[in-house]
Amino acid sequence: MPLLHAVPKEAEEEGVALSEVDDRLLRAAFGRYGGGLAERSRAAEVVAHYQQMGAGMWFACACRPDGRRGRLVPVAQSYIRRRTGACWPEHDETCDFYRDPSEQLEIVRTYTRIAATGPLRLAGPFSDGKRALDRSFIGASKVRSRPGLAKLLALLVDKAELQIVPPGGRFGLLSEQFAAVRRASEGVFLDSRARLRDFSTTFPKALDNLVFRIDTARPGIFTRNRPHGVLITPLEAVREGELLPFSSAPIPVRGRISVFGEKAGGAGRSAAGARAPYLAACLVGRAAENGPIEVLSAYVHPCVAKHHLMLVDSNFERLTLERLLGLQGWLQRKHGIEVTIEKPVFDVGPYANEADPVGRSVCIPDFVLRAAPAANVACETVIVETMGFDDEDYRVRKQRTHATMRAAYGGAPLVTHDLAGSDRDAEQREFGRAVARTILGSGGRR
């Protein structure tokens, strides 16, 4: 990220760049991944210095790709806060100052298993004006809070064990995977007495039946929210205001479509099927009390393949999984070692210390390998991280979480699958050798 600049308050001029030391101090103290008491104490001197300079200085942040600069305002000669409004834009979502540490911790909490298993509030009552739905397309990523539909989808695929490939590489027929999702819905409630299993479907062609069940729901079933249900289905593509299932008619969406890993807007967004196929969780209900029952909103996440519903975050992760499946089979054939491949969907990091809260990234490993105990197994747990880009900011963000991941898995080794270079075949071979060496020990041969 570019260095912060000190500028006269309320001014648009270029200003003077801070030193690298002062910039680091402010980010460590007030950025979303900082916030400790010791860091804030060290940064207070920097804040006081600029607040007392002339009529007072603000800090300008050049994080946005459009060139507009966000502002940070010194307060009480000891801390800074974001300044937003008509004149001052929001910081880019990848910026340290997009959120403060306490807000970042709230974002992280939305990725925990506890958040996913808590009471669902997908629709809200008709009196909830905030639930008004205008058609929109937004991107979703781990720098933002996990939406309610995304929490539900993560819970279901986790309970259904779709995020696991057992030894032998068998992940089940598509019908078996959907049956597992339906079993996973047992015990999940959309409202106090509205069971998800009674108000959901995994078949787009059964959407009319779901609409009928919502329309004829008995009084008292939905007490906190408007009557609603959920459609879960794989997609071959997404368009503005429309979902395209396999072998079914397009599904219009009245309101928001949120797609993980993609950005809103024509030029900033990848092609409609760039990360296809997807698995979607769709909210079905009425936008207004006397309106029609329709698909109100949808959360869409890439999955491995049309017939493999494991959620992945990118095409790069699909390549990593393909390589891991080959290694899984090779280790079993060559060495008799059974390896399970896991794709976690919940944060594994530690909870914040309430007395000294420090912000951190969402910590979800890309893959975890579990080797069954055996005499020829040197390491039973291996974390695998896909590295798809070579820009410095991306790698810094990824590396922030690696130590946390290792600690969460008892100090397990972490192997990176680097796909940013020009010789991908060589990188694939080296990745395979690195995983094999880690599991077999230095004496193991590929």
Count of CB atoms situated within 10 Å of the CB of 3:
15
Give the type of residue at 247: S
3-state SS, residue 51: helix
Q: What number is the average pLDDT over the span 286-314?
A: 96
Give the type of residue at 62: A
Q: What number is the average pLDDT over the span 225-250?
A: 95
Tell me phi and psi for residue 278, to 5 degrees. -125, 165
Give the whole-number percent of the chain exceeding pLDDT 90: 74
The token duo for 101 is 């540490």
| Sign of the Cα pseudo-torsion (90, 95, 96, 99, in order) | positive
Q: What number is the average pLDDT over the span 348-373?
A: 88
- Band of residue 309 on the pLDDT scale cut at 50, 70, 90: very high
**Is residue 443 pLDDT above 60, yes or no?**
no
What distance in Å separates the CA atoms of residue 412 and residue 383, rounded to the nearest whole number? 7
Choose between 125 and 86: higher pLDDT.
Answer: 125
CA atoms within 13 A on the CB side of 438: 22
- Band of residue 441 on the pLDDT scale cut at 50, 70, 90: very high
Which of 15-19, 63-67, 253-257, 396-400 has the least mean pLDDT? 396-400
Choose between 209 and 422: higher pLDDT.
Answer: 209
What distance in Å separates the CA atoms of residue 369 and residue 268, rounded to the nearest whole number? 35
Per-residue pLDDT, 117: 86
Q: What number is the average pLDDT over the span 283-291?
A: 94
Which of 19-23, 87-91, 332-336, 373-377 has the least mean pLDDT? 87-91
Q: What number is the average pLDDT over the span 82-109?
A: 89
- Band of residue 265 on the pLDDT scale cut at 50, 70, 90: very low
The token duo for 360 is 């951190």
What distance in Å separates the CA atoms of residue 45 and residue 417, rounded to the nearest whole number? 42
Residue range 42-71, pLDDT digits in tens: 999 999 999 999 889 999 999 999 999 999
What distance in Å separates the CA atoms of residue 35 and residue 360, rounded to the nearest whole number? 10
**Is residue 264 pLDDT above 60, yes or no?**
no
What distance in Å separates the CA atoms of residue 30 and residue 4, rounded to the nearest whole number? 13
Distances in whole angstroms, Cα of residue 344 to Cα of each of 80, 111, 309: 36, 11, 14
Q: What number is the average pLDDT over the span 206-232?
A: 96
Per-residue pLDDT, 11: 85
Q: Are 419 and 316 in contact (CB under 8 A)?
A: yes
Q: What number is the average pLDDT over the span 273-295?
A: 92
Largest CA distance in the chain: 73
Q: Give me the chain's average pLDDT, please.
A: 91
Contacts of 384 (CB under 8 A, 6+ apart): 320, 324, 365, 366, 367, 368, 369, 414, 415, 416, 417, 435
Residue range 386-400, pLDDT digits in tens: 998 888 777 877 887
Per-residue pLDDT, 55: 86
The token duo for 33 is 């991944």
3-state SS, residue 257: strand
List the Cα angle 425/427/431 in 5-degree steps: 120
Instruction: Kindly report the pTM of this predicted structure.
Output: 0.91
Q: Are 248 and 235 in contact (CB under 8 A)?
A: no
Give the whole-number percent of the chain exceeding pLDDT 70: 93
List the Cα angle 399/403/406 in 5-degree steps: 125
Per-residue pLDDT, 272: 45
What distance in Å separates the CA atoms of residue 64 and residue 90, rounded to the nearest whole number? 9
3-state SS, residue 93: coil
What distance in Å separates the CA atoms of residue 240 and residue 301, rounded to the nearest whole number? 16
Q: Are 313 and 260 in contact (CB under 8 A)?
A: yes
